[in-house]
Structure formats: C-alpha cells, structure tokens
C-alpha cells in the first residue's frame, strides 16, 4: 500500500496484492484495505465482487479451471464439469468442504486448438475426457 | 454585429430554437424550455448516472441514441426527444425493467406513488412482452426503521449517490455484475449492523420504487419526501461560496 501512496485509486492493485499474499479476500483484510485507503466499505465490497478475479472465500489446495469457450463447449467441456459436479458435489466457483479442490470455469483459455481444455493446478491440459480429469483430481484428493 | 458569446450555445429541440449554457446537458435545457424527456435514474440534486436509458434522444447526424442526462449541448445540435422509434425503445426498456425484477404493484408499499409505475402509465406500456425472470432476491429488514426489498430494486443507484454525495457516508454500493448485481450496505453486512449508516433516510426517500421503504407501512401507504434534496443542494452551494 505504501508503494501506491495510500491513494484511493490504488484499490484494485492493493486488492490484487492482498489476494496474492493470502489467496483470498477475507472480511478483515477488506476492512483493513478500506480504512487504509479511505475508501468506503461498500465500494471495496462492490469492486471485490465485480471482478471475477477476486475470491471472497478461501480456495482449495488444488484448482481445476475448465474452459467454457465455444470450441471447448462443443467438444464436450460441459460434460467434464457435469462429471466433476456429480463426483464432488460442487458447482463451478465452489470448493470442496475439505478445502482440497476448487472447480472454476473460464470464458475462454485461448487454447481452442486443444479443445476441450482445462487448467489443472496452473498447467494447461488439452483434448481431455471427463474420466482423465477425474483421474487427476483423484490423485490430488487422495 | 455583436458576436454571440462562446459560452452560449444555440440548438433545436423538437424543432424549437433554444439557447443554453455550454456546460448544460440536453435534459437540463429541455426542462428549462418545458420539453418533457422521461427519466428514471436521474433525480435533481444528484450527479447523473446515465443508467436507465429512458432519456435517450436522437441527434441529427449521430447514429447512436444519446442519453440526454449526460450529453452536453453543442452548437447547432438538432435534438428529437419523442420520435416513434424512441417511444418504442422506452417502452421496451420499461418492459425489460419490469421483467427483470419482481414488480408486483398490487402488494407494493408505494403502489400509486411509484416512479416506475408512473412512467409505465405515462409512456403507454400496457403489457410486458418478454418472459419474466422471477429472480429470487433477498430482503434486508435488519434496520430499526427501514427495510430493503431487492425484488423491487431497479439498480438506478439513487440511494448510492445520495448516500455518497449528500450524506457523505457511502453506505450503499452495487455489488456483483450483470444480472446478479444488487445493492449492498458496507461489506454486505445487514443494514441494521452497518457502522457507516447514519439512519438519515435519504436513500429511502429518493428510491423511485418500493425497494427502500419505512417499516410499518402497508400497501400503497408509503410516500416519499423529496423536498430535502434541492434544499440541501441549495444550502450547500450557498455555504461553499
């Protein structure tokens, strides 16, 4: 925050830094940021919920971002998400109760040639079958 | 011949020649000249928002429709405020607003005194031709004196602006985006637990619909007092001089 001179306009940058450090934005940190930058609480909350990048809940240890872009969707990314939903009972944007695994969806990863694609813990994997993805997640949650 | 001052712009609104200050908006000029442009999110005394799109007007030579509340006048502009196309669009906008929330006048505290209802009547919106979304939205009745029913909220942000610009508390803001957007107090804390709310009730009185209302009011009993807004603005201007 000092780097940004405690300027109210630096709100988004500061929230970025907080999320990088803690993985998500909890109520205490939002209150702290609001007070330090003299930004109204409701505006901090509004910004944090407007941008999909910010998470207000802790994320799982592992993450799977399934691409829901047109190409991936046609190639069956919908069935990947369905399969995971069935197996773990979570919808995109949610985390399993044991905080092991978060399922996320993306508009388009830009890897349409690899459709259907997903990002598994930061690595892009392409031409996926639902069972392959489940296999990977099982390894994590063992 | 004396050249006209550059601060004064001359333009035509609906064929009527009008003069205006260069920092005025089309809406302000139209009002001064008794020309009606429908508005919903706009309220005198607060900054314009440009969100409801009901004040869209046609300007000759511009392909787009321009919102009159945030468009400044220009020399030689030819503005049309009430073409059949605009009337059609305005009715559609109203239909979309109605279908997006749960606006059931018969059980609403402001029935008969609602800005949205009045506009629908005035602009001749007889029915809603798009399917209703029937969203499930939450109600916050945690405040001692007031309550918020998000089902009736049209996201005009009047409450957000009055709280920020007049009261200075900025308790309200819009959270989320798109169809999930909704108004929140502080960090989505219940209104009654808000640290910043001063319970002044300005938001309740500027709200165009029954989304914000006083507790204890039954159907059609809630009337909104708006007189304070021009008064406060005037008094503050006087002080800052």
A94 with A43, same domain: the answer is: no
Q: Which pLDDT score, from 0 to 100, does residue A93 have?
A: 81
Residue B3 clears pLDDT 70, i.e. is over it? no
A22 with A84, same domain: the answer is: no
Asked if A49 lies within 8 A of B175 by C-beta distance, the reply is: yes
pLDDT band at B5; cut points 50, 70, 90: low
A38 with A71, same domain: the answer is: no
pLDDT band at A138; cut points 50, 70, 90: confident
Q: Pairing relation of β-strands A62-67 and A101-106?
A: parallel
pLDDT band at B241; cut points 50, 70, 90: confident
Asked if B175 lies within 8 A of A41 by C-beta distance, the reply is: no
- The whole domain housing A31 covers 8-50
Assigned domain for A116 exists = yes
Residues of A in contact with B186 (CB under 8 A): 41-42, 45
Residue A35 forms contact with B (CB below 8 Å): no
Q: How far apart are CA A23 and CA A61, in angstroms?
A: 10
Rounded mean pLDDT of chain B?
93
Residue among A27, A30, A42 minimizing CB distance to B173: A42
Residue A108 clears pLDDT 90, i.e. is over it? no
pLDDT in tens, B22-36: 999 999 999 999 999
Q: Which pLDDT score, from 0 to 100, does residue A97 have?
A: 86
Assigned domain for A55 exists = no
A79 with A111, same domain: the answer is: yes
Assigned domain for A18 exists = yes
pLDDT band at A137; cut points 50, 70, 90: confident
A67 with A136, same domain: the answer is: yes
pLDDT in tens, B108-139: 999 999 999 999 999 999 999 999 999 999 99
Dmax (CA) for chain B in angstroms is 67
Token pair, residue B19, equals: 């003069």
Asked if A50 lies within 8 A of B175 by C-beta distance, the reply is: yes
Assigned domain for A74 exists = yes
What was the ipTM of the complex prediction? 0.84
Nearest-neighbour CA in chain A from B120: distance (Å): 30
Q: What is the CATH number of the domain that holds A91?
A: 3.40.30.10
Assigned domain for A43 exists = yes
pLDDT in tens, A62-100: 888 899 889 999 998 889 999 999 888 888 888 888 888
Assigned domain for A56 exists = no
Asked if B188 lies within 8 A of A43 by C-beta distance, the reply is: no
Mean predicted confidence (pLDDT) in B203-214:
96
Q: Which of B197, B79, B103 is nearest to B154 (CA)?
A: B103
Residue A49 forms contact with B (CB below 8 Å): yes
A125 with A90, same domain: the answer is: yes
Q: Which residue has the tokens 């406060």?
A: B232
Residues contacting residue B229 through CB under 8 Å, at least 6 positions apart: B43, B44, B45, B46, B162, B166, B202, B206
Q: Taking the model in full, what pTM does it have?
A: 0.84
Residues of A in contact with B175 (CB under 8 A): 42, 45-46, 49-50
Q: How far apart are CA B30 and CA B20, in angstroms?
A: 10
Residue B1 clears pLDDT 60, i.e. is over it? no
Q: What percent of chain B has pLDDT over 90?
A: 86
Q: How far apart are CA A73 and CA A39, in angstroms?
A: 40
Q: For B174, which residue in chain A has the nearest alpha carbon?
A: A46
pLDDT in tens, A41-63: 999 999 999 988 888 888 888 88
Rounded mean pLDDT of chain A?
88
Residue B206 clears pLDDT 90, i.e. is over it? yes
Asked if B196 lies within 8 A of A50 by C-beta distance, the reply is: no
* Contact predicate B71/B48, CB 8 Å: no
Assigned domain for A133 exists = yes
* Stretch among A78-92, B52-66, B161-175, B204-218 having the lowest mean pLDDT: A78-92
A66 with A129, same domain: the answer is: yes
Residues of A in contact with B164 (CB under 8 A): 40
Residue B4 clears pLDDT 60, i.e. is over it? no
Residue A141 clears pLDDT 80, i.e. is over it? no
Which residue ranges form the domains of chain B, and what is each CATH number?
8-82 (3.10.20.740), 108-226 (3.30.70.20)
Q: For A54, which residue in chain B has the nearest alpha carbon?
A: B176
A103 with A39, same domain: the answer is: no
* Contact predicate A111/A117, CB 8 Å: yes
**Total tally of structural domains belonging to chain A:** 2
pLDDT in tens, A4-17: 778 888 899 999 99
A31 with A95, same domain: the answer is: no
Q: How far apart are CA A103 and CA A55, in angstroms?
A: 13
Q: What single string gives the DSSP state of each residue in A79-119?
A: HHHHHHHHHH---TTEE-TTSSEEEEEES--S-GGG-S-EE
* Contact predicate B9/B15, CB 8 Å: no
Q: Pairing relation of β-strands A123-125 and B139-140?
A: unpaired
Q: Which pLDDT score, from 0 to 100, does residue A106 have?
A: 84
Residue A53 forms contact with B (CB below 8 Å): no
A28 with A96, same domain: the answer is: no
Q: How far apart are CA B82 and CA A34, in angstroms?
A: 45
Q: How far apart are CA B64 and CA B72, in angstroms?
A: 15
A16 with A80, same domain: the answer is: no
Token pair, residue A19, equals: 């999320």
Nearest-neighbour CA in chain B from A53: distance (Å): 12
Q: How far apart are CA A96 and CA A116, in angstroms?
A: 23
A68 with A133, same domain: the answer is: yes
Q: Which of B26, B21, B23 is nearest to B39 (CA)?
A: B26
């Amino acid at each position: 925050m000092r780097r940004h001179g405690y300027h109210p306009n630096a709100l988004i940058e500061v929230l970025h830094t907080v999320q990088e450090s803690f993985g998500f934005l909890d109520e205490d940190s939002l209150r702290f940021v609001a007070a330090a930058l003299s930004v109204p609480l409701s505006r901090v909350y509004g910004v944090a919920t407007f941008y999909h990048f910010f998470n207000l809940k802790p994320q799982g240890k592992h993450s799977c971002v399934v691409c829901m872009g047109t190409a991936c969707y046609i190639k069956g990314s919908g069935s990947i998400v369905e399969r995971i939903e069935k197996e773990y009972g979570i919808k995109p944007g949610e985390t399993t109760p044991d905080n092991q695994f978060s399922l996320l969806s993306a508009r388009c990863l830009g890897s349409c040639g690899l459709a259907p694609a997903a990002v598994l813990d930061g690595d892009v994997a392409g031409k996926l079958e639902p069972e392959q993805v489940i296999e990977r997640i099982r390894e994590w949650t063992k | 011949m004396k050249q006209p001052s550059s601060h004064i712009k001359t333009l035509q609104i609906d064929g009527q020649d009008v003069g205006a200050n260069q920092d005025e908006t089309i809406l302000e000029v139209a009002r001064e000249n008794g020309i009606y442009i429908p508005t919903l999110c706009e309220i005198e005394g607060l900054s314009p928002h440009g969100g409801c799109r009901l004040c869209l007007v046609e300007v000759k030579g511009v392909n787009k429709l321009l919102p009159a509340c945030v468009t400044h006048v220009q020399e030689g502009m030819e503005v049309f405020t009430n073409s059949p196309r605009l009337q059609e669009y305005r009715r559609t906008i109203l239909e979309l607003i109605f279908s997006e929330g749960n606006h059931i006048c018969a059980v609403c505290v402001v029935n008969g005194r609602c800005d949205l209802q009045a506009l629908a009547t005035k602009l001749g919106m007889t029915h809603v031709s798009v399917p209703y979304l029937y969203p499930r939205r939450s109600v916050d009745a945690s405040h001692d004196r007031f309550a918020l029913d998000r089902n009736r909220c049209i996201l005009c942000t009047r409450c957000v602006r009055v709280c920020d610009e007049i009261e200075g508390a900025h308790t309200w803001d819009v959270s989320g985006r798109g169809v999930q957007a909704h108004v929140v107090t502080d960090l989505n804390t219940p209104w009654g637990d808000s640290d910043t709310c001063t319970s002044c009730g300005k938001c309740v009185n500027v709200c165009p619909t029954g989304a914000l209302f006083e507790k204890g009011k039954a159907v059609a009993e809630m009337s909104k007092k708006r007189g304070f807004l021009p008064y406060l603005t005037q008094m503050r201007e006087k002080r800052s001089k």
